[in-house]
Every structure is written in C-alpha cells, then in structure tokens.
A and B are shown apart, each in its own frame.
Chain A
Amino acid sequence: MRLEMGNFHVKDIVFGDTLSYSNGVLTVNKEELLNYVKEEEPGIITADLRIVRPGDKVRLCPVKEAIEMRCKVSGKSTGIFPGVTSPMAQAGDGRTHALKGCSLIVVGEHMGGFQDGVIDMAGKYQDNTIFGDMVNLVFVADTNEDFERFEQQKKNKALRWGGMKLAEYIGQCVKDLEPEDMEVFDLPPVTERSAEVNALPGVVYVLQPQTQMETMGYNTLIYGWDGNHMLPTFMHPNELLDGCMVSGSFMPTSSKISTYEFAVNPMVKKLMEQHGKTINFLGVIMSTLNVKMNEKDRCAKMLALMASNLGAVGAVVAEEGYGNPDVDYTAALVELEKIGIKTVGISDEATGRDGGSQPLVSMNPMTDALVSTGNVSQLYELEPMEVIGELEALARDGNSGGWEGSIHEDGSVTMENNGMFCCNHISGFSKKTCADF
C-alpha cells in the first residue's frame, strides 16, 4: 500500500478574509470557521479562535485535543478520519495533504475534567509538549452538554468532533496546491518482499491504545470503532499515518496520545525509515488495554502469537497510559519474549512525589529493554501566564494533575506531570526520560 503525504510547512497562521495557504502562511477567516463549526456541532454554544506561537507567554487550559490539519486528495477514503467524520473507508492509500509544523488545539472555554491538560507556549515547560514548539490555531469553546458539565470524566464529544471537522475544513485549502515536499510510505504485503528485505529481522509495532472505559464514548477509536470491543488486529502502518485513529477522552492526559500524534506517529515513521536497512517492518499489531485480567491475558497471548505467525523476531510495544494498563504492557512484552521475540517497550513511569515508588504497576525482569518517556508524578512549578480557557479547571474539575490549591494567587501553578497535555509523548516524540537519583 502506497501513501503520498504532501507537506505544506506552516511558518505562521494569521486571521484574514479568505481561508488560504501561501508561502508558509496559513490565513483563516475566523467568522467563517466559527459559523461552520457551530453549524456542524450544534452542541457548541460559544466559541472563539486564537492563534498562539512558540514563545508567547500563554497557557492553554483545559486542553482536550490536538489535531493535524489535513485533507484527503485521493485514495479510498474521502475524509481524514474515516469511520468518524467521513464514511467508513480504508485509510492509507492515495494522497493526503497536511499542514505541517502546526496544529489545531481544542480548549474548553470553562469546564475541564480528569482527562484534560495544560500547554505552555513559553517558559520552563514550553518544550515539554511538542505543541509548545509549533504555531497553533486554538479552538476554544463551550457546549450545552450539561449531562457531563460537572462530571469528572467527560466525553467532550462536541468539542472533539468540532476540532476534527475544523481541522479537515481548514486542510481543504491546500487540496489543489502543489506540496512543498512529499513523503512516500510504500510498504508491500509481508509475502511480497525482496529476498534482501526478508533476510532482515522482522519487526512489528504493537500499539496498546487506551481502551479501558467500559462505557462507550471515552476510548480511542479505530475507524470509529471503540477499541474496547477489539481483539488484537493486524494493520498496515499507513492506516495510522492516514487518520484511522482518533484519540479518546479518558485517563490522565500526560500519558495520552493525541489524535495529532496517532497520525504523525514518529515511531511508525522511524520503523518505516529503518525498513529495508536494519529491519523488515512487518506492520502494526493494534492491541487494546483492558480492565479485566482475563481480557489482558487474552490480548497479550493473541498479540504474541500474531507476531510469531507473521515471522517477527522483534517487537516495539507502546502503552498509552500507566497504572492499571502497565499490567497489559508488561504482559505483552513478557508473552513476546517467552516465544523468543525480542522486545523494546516505550511508556512512562509513576514513581510518586518522593520518587520512591515502583515505576510500573506490573514488572517482570524479562522486560529488559525499556524506553522511559517521563514520570507522571513529577511536580511542575509553572510561572504565571495569560490563560486561554479557564485555569481554574485544573484545580476545580478533578484534573489528574491538579488539585484544590494547585493555582496560586499570582497565577503560578503547582501541578503533576499527569496534567500536562500529552507531555510524555508515548508516540515517540518525548525528549524526556527518567533516571535513578
């Protein structure tokens, strides 16, 4: 399957009369976009758009989602999120155009929740999220979803869907333009590879997206399907790069993978890059995270056998989450190792405020190659900044990294890593690790 990703490198976003892209500048018409999104998502009652740039002393809170603005030019799918905002179709072939180096960020105007986060565009924590280092169009809005207004766990449906639709609407402005550069992702079926490639060690990427919520509407979606209802499934990496996954609205945000990262997945890209050089990248095993022990066990055993049947001798396992899902993570690594598949795991740790706690809930000495992307319990001290959204949401609405007293009178903040938006970047973007002290 061959996917052409036509890139447009955005240097700046500005407001103007006509939605357009030219010479690195994305121009958006605020009124047009707000009218569009309100019509598409009638649940949205108030909305605004802001532009934030790296170095702006601005704090975004509560952040609910980040999305790359794209459009589908050709291929089986007609939209950038098939099965979600466009009819079900296979993702990963044809041509997709993307506005690179920027994102659309969805922020709650007032209400946050357990799963939402903070992004700082300047200061000590600017580099903690990739979004602090890119120009962002910020969609900040409130909805009439009163059933969950005061709930700690929020589906954030209108805002998340509004964000996806805006990202695609804006992305359309480069549909007919010539891309500035093109990435080609062309990985043939596993049985149709050259002898040289077949001689290289076969490797699978095992992704464990967050799918633990039993109630529907919160979990990561795969082609619009709630991952809670899945068993391990073999997929082509292009499907991920072309928007088959939509991030959920559940669990502490620092361990989440945003929709942006599911599609701009650096781990998939690095594996593709190594394909034919150091490895034979067989493809993606999309697994799940579950709450029941027998479900965890079933998935771990099935994914290991799937890897083995594909002829894998190596596997990268990524866990979107921490705590309870560490059990699924370690189980997957152990089941793979048991049948002789060499694993590397990528996830974050929870070592507690004093650093003295067991970093993963479940540990096994067989997992001897782990990459650590951050510590959810790390305390962060944030300087005061102008806020887009409502900072109180961090302290008031049960955010996983905030608490009553998190926000100080001068606007400075004490919080846990837990509440910084996708900052442990389990997708592979993280430039953090953990060490013994």
Chain B
Amino acid sequence: MIQIKELHKSYRMGSNHLHVLKGINLDIKEGEFVSIMGSSGSGKSTLLNIIGMLDEAEKGSYILDDVPIKNLSEKKAAIYRNKFLGFIFQSFNLINYKNAAENVALPLYYQGVPRKIRKEKSLYYLEKVGLADWAHHLPSELSGGQKQRVAIARALASEPKVLLADEPTGALDTKTSYEVMDFLQGINDEGKTILVVTHEPDIADMTKRIVMLKDGVIEEDKVVEQVRASQYV
C-alpha cells in the first residue's frame, strides 16, 4: 500500500539547516496497523505529513497504492488526499459551526457526492462510532472522546485506502484513549490500513507493528503482539 524509499526532508530555519528525515525506508502492506513512535523532534510528524501529502519530500520516492506521489499540484494533492486518505488529528479539527453529521459529510461534499447520499453516509458512519443520537449536536456540545469519534467517522466517510492518525489520543484521558483505540482496532479488523503517530508505548502496543524513529532514521521496526483495547474498556 505504501512504499517509501530513501526519503529525505530538511527545513531551513533562518541560517540553520535542520535535517529532519535522513533516509527513511518503509513498506506498509494493505491491512496493516502501524504505529510510528519516537521522541519529539524525531521526525515522526514530518513523516506522517509527507505520507498525508500535506508536505513534500525533498529526496526519495513515495508510492501510495501504486501511484507515485511526486511534484503534485495543490489540486492533485487535494484530489488524492480526498480519495486515498482519512485524517485523524490530536485536536480533532472539527469545524465548530457545523454539527456532527455535517462535519462527517464534509469530505463527501468535496468528492461531489449528492446531498442525499452524503446525509445517509454520514449517519451510517456516525452510527458506526456509536454517535447516531448526536448527529445534530455541535462539536462544543460533545466530550473529547465523542469529538474524536466524530473525527474518526469523518475520516472513514470518504472510504479512504489509508487512515492517518496523528496522536489521536494525545488530548484524551486513558480510558477514552482506549475506547478510541478499540474503535481503530475494529476498523483495522475490517481490513483498513491504519497509520498512527504516537509517543505513548501503551497505545503503540495496541497496533500490530511499531516503527521507532530517532533523529530522522528508523531505529527499530518490529511486529508486535497486539494488545486488544477492549479488555480495558
């Protein structure tokens, strides 16, 4: 699903040259549940941004679902993001003046899906995350866990190839975190490829593969025994 070879990325900060990614090689197959770990500054978010086409690599190749991602125009990037990827953010990033259903329907709007089908789909995915009754509530009326579940529903709504989650539990307490992970595990069980960036070992243990980043290189890449979140919920 994702093939990354010799990926480099550096930032220019004034006169300083900050080499963030120093040759990343990563191969992720369909249906995998991968966590990217590392301390802050290790380059894990940068890597996720590049995978998410929010940022562009300097050197190296990145192939997503057999499509080479290189020199994309903004328009192309937007189309690919919409088609291939679902995003889940640490701070949820829901649009505060739209209710839960409207937030979930937004990627479908940009896909050009007719309004009626958008409505049906958004309700379907809200039901999937157990929030069907909250469809018409604004984000400000939801708890943190509920917000993140709305965000998950939104990420799923466009039926992407890969889910990208940047510290999805970073703003949640332990119990809620496990609930969210339980959801993600359920989605993965259905065959969805998921990539999670986290710095919490217990969250990483709930995925199937851990990639450790340190100073811009992969330090360790291991398959782990998945801890099911359901036993904590």
A and B associate in one complex: no
Enumerate chain A interface residues (CB-CB to B < 8 A): none
Enumerate chain B interface residues (CB-CB to A < 8 A): none
